[in-house]
A = this chain, B = another copy of it.
Amino acid sequence: MYRPRAWILNIGNELLIGRIVNTNGAYIARELTLRGVRVERIIVVSDSLDEVATTVREAIGRADIVVTTGGLGPTDDDITMEAVAAALNLPLVLNTAALGMVREFYHKRGLELTKERIKMAYLPKNAEPIPNPVGAAPGAYIYYSGVHIIVLPGVPSEMEAMLKIAIEKLDPFLPKLCIVEEGITVTGIPESSLASLLRKASKLCSDCYVKSHPKGHEIDNPIVEVKVLASAPDCDTARSKATRVLDALRKYIGGI
């Protein structure tokens, strides 16, 4: 099965000094993986116009889908739209639809447009704005010589809502997949002891998403829910992938 390749670029100095952990990268990676995309790189890069433009150029040369996060705000260090425009040799222009979104956001809060707020409506020429249901800054979707470029903000709640919209746009280009979730509840084994068994079992399915959710006390009363999300062109195959992981896990647990 053809699987489009993706690069994820997370832009922000706060990530490079280790002030925050790159949860956005993992979130996007999981969502794309579950839609049949092969994520090949997650790259954190600084709020530097040159660095971002260089990295976007590298990405469009080697991926079918490029998703960026961060650097869409009203301040001078928010340079992502400018960097993407530079990487694609496109001018940065005031996008009427994006301006409408920004105006509406502030109008609802009784605020006027300012130069800083209008800045958020400048997108690379011919980009399609992605509405932001949570915050002020629109994102952008650009189809450029065979590559889908999705530009999202860095605030996780905004990014998550907008990624959903972006993935709908990508839908015609994504593999047709059935996604299933199956789970078991494991009692009497602390999550810390279960971890290596989970790791081993999850290796049986490279594109399953395996996660454990502790529900009881780690030592006194360990209860852990294990969920496996699996995808395949048809639902039977997807289900059998998930089942294989869970069956292996049951076997390993029986061996303790």
Instruction: Please tell me which one of the listed residues B18, B51, B202, B209 contacts residue A29 in the complex, with CB atoms under 8 A apart.
Output: B18
Tell me the smallest distance from the CB of A252 to a CB of chain B, in Å. Answer: 16
Within 8 A of B (CB), among A5-51: 13-23, 25-31, 33, 39-46, 51
Residues of B within 8 A of A206 (CB): 13, 17
Most chain B beta-carbon contacts within 10 A, residue among A18, A27, A43: A18
Give the size of the chain A interface in residues (CB under 8 angstroms): 34
B46 with A40: CB separation less than 8 A: yes
In the complex, the chain B residue whose C-beta lies closest to that of A16 is B39
If over half of A's interface residues share one DSSP class (helix, strand or loop), that class is named, otherwise mixed; here it is mixed
A207 at the interface (CB under 8 A from B): yes
Q: Interface readout for A116-138 with B: 1 if CB under 8 Å, 0 if not? A: 00000000000000000000000
Q: Are B21 and A22 in contact (CB under 8 A)?
A: yes
Q: Which of A14, A20, A31, A211 has the most CB of B within 10 A?
A: A14
With contacts A40-B46, A44-B42 taken as known, whether A17 is within 8 angstroms of B209 at the C-beta atoms is: yes
| Minimum distance in angstroms from A16 CB to a CB of chain B | 5
Q: Is the CB of B51 within 8 A of A33?
A: no
Asked whether B26 lies within 8 Å of A210 as measured between CB atoms, the reply is no
Contact B18 A31 (CB under 8 A): yes
Within 8 A of B (CB), among A41-87: 41-46, 51
Instruction: Point out the residues of chain B lying under 8 angstroms from A29, CB to CB.
Output: 15-18
Q: A41-B43, A42-B44, A43-B43 are in contact. Are A19 and B210 (CB under 8 A)?
A: yes
In the docked arrangement, what's the CA distance between A31 and B22, Å?
16
Contact status B15-A42, CB under 8 Å? yes
**Chain B CB within 10 Å — which of A33, A40, A42, A207 has the most?**
A42
Min CB gap A5→B, angstroms:
11
Q: Which 8 A-B pairs have the closest CB atoms?
A: A18-B30, A18-B29, A42-B44, A21-B26, A17-B33, A18-B26, A16-B39, A43-B43
A-B contact pairs, 24 of them (CB 8 A): A13-B206, A16-B40, A17-B29, A17-B33, A17-B39, A17-B206, A17-B207, A18-B25, A18-B26, A18-B27, A18-B33, A18-B39, A18-B209, A19-B210, A21-B23, A21-B25, A22-B22, A22-B26, A40-B45, A41-B43, A41-B44, A41-B45, A42-B44, A43-B44
Contact surface of A with B, Cβ cutoff 8 Å: 13-23, 25-31, 33, 39-46, 51, 202, 206-207, 209-211
